[in-house]
Amino acid sequence: MMSESCIDRWLDPFGLQVFGKTCFLQTSPEFAMKRMLAAGADSIFQICKAFRAGEVGDHHNPEFTMLEWYRQSTPLSEQIKFVEKLVQGSLDFASEKKWIAPSQRFPQFQTLTYEAAFQNSLGISPHESSSETLQELAVANGFQLASGETVDRDDLLNYLLATVVEPDLEEMEAVSLIDYPASQSALAKIVQRGEYFVAERFEMYLHGHEICNGYQELTDPVELRRRMSLQNKKRIADGKSELPVESKLLEAMERQGLPESSGVALGFDRLVMICLGCSSLKDVLAFPFSEV
């Protein structure tokens, strides 16, 4: 429980009053762990519970287990390799225990840019395509658009990713999607790759299921404050509550600085689900939301 929460347009924390103070159940341990990095920690990890309101389904539960870690002076490419070893070791163990079929043991890990994924599935560049083109493609793939409605460009990209691109990724067994559009940087650094500025982040998909999210971490507190303020504006436009921008993490970054580091958050329950050959989190949680 913390008095601050990562501000994300799509993530809604559970808020509660404790001794007259508004606190939040953590959507991830990110802010607290980055404060530890600012205080001098080097390589740290945590297995903990995280809580997100409104996330219920075969692959979502309001309460879930997260494995999150950070390492100083480590490029994101090393984190991708580390996750591949972690996943492969988990699948090998599950296969040895005969929890899954041997055919699931050895996924062929691949890395694919966000640009290449959209080119392969839709034949377009997500960086260069106009909002009109993206909207036409989204509508052609089932997006419901009200008359006269304008849709945020990232909303259209997210829809096309979920409905067209991700199903194609399932055929690749295990793939890390890298170099997202700069507008989807969240708390990752922005770097230039050729003609485009991209977010230095990745998401790994295993048999079509997203299991982790990794960043080359943003270290600039001024930029962090700007991004969180922007996310709040989007939350307000969506009819959601505004969240506090000022935080102990920002204080720590301004006072001590955040070292160059990379971090990964992995959905532990999803990895267990895959290792057991299950199709729903309900099969690996003792008390999923449906049983509460």
Q: Provide the mean pLDDT of the chain.
A: 92
Q: Are residues 204 and 283 in the same domain?
A: yes
**Cα distance between residue 236 and residue 129, in whole Å:** 27
**Cα distance between residue 215 and residue 75, in whole Å:** 9
CATH number of 38's domain = 3.30.930.10
Task: Domain of residue 54: give its range.
Answer: 15-108+173-291
Q: Are residues 133 and 181 in the same domain?
A: no
Stronger pLDDT, 279 or 124, i.e. the higher one: 124
Would you state the pLDDT for residue 79?
98
Would you state the pLDDT for residue 97?
86
* Alpha-helix runs per DSSP H in the chain: 30-38, 76-96, 114-122, 131-140, 153-160, 166-169, 221-237, 248-255, 268-275
- Assess if residue 39 is contained within a domain: yes
Chosen domain end from 142, 168, 194: 168
* Range with the largest mean pLDDT of 100-109, 121-130, 166-175, 275-284: 121-130
- Assess if residue 234 is contained within a domain: yes
What average pLDDT does range 253-272 have in this prediction? 97
Q: Are residues 33 and 90 in the same domain?
A: yes
Would you state the pLDDT for residue 98?
82
- Assess if residue 8 is contained within a domain: no
Q: Which amino acid is at 270?
A: R
Q: Are residues 204 and 217 in the same domain?
A: yes
Q: Are residues 233 and 120 in the same domain?
A: no
What's the domain count of the chain?
2
Would you state the pLDDT for residue 196?
92
Would you state the pLDDT for residue 3?
57
- Assess if residue 205 is contained within a domain: yes
Per-residue pLDDT tens digits for 233-247: 999 999 999 999 999
Using left for φ > 0, alpha for ψ between -120 and 50, and beta otherwise, residue 123 falls in left
Per-residue pLDDT tens digits for 178-200: 999 999 999 999 999 999 999 99
Would you state the pLDDT for residue 181?
97
pTM: 0.93
- pLDDT for residue 106 is more than 70: no
What average pLDDT does range 140-162 have in this prediction? 90
Per-residue pLDDT tens digits for 65-96: 999 999 999 999 999 999 999 999 998 888 88
Q: What confidence tier does 230 reach under pLDDT thresholds 50, 70, 90?
A: very high
**Cα distance between residue 165 and residue 130, in whole Å:** 18
Please give the share of the chain, as a percent, with pLDDT higher than 70. 96
Residue 258 is classified by DSSP as -
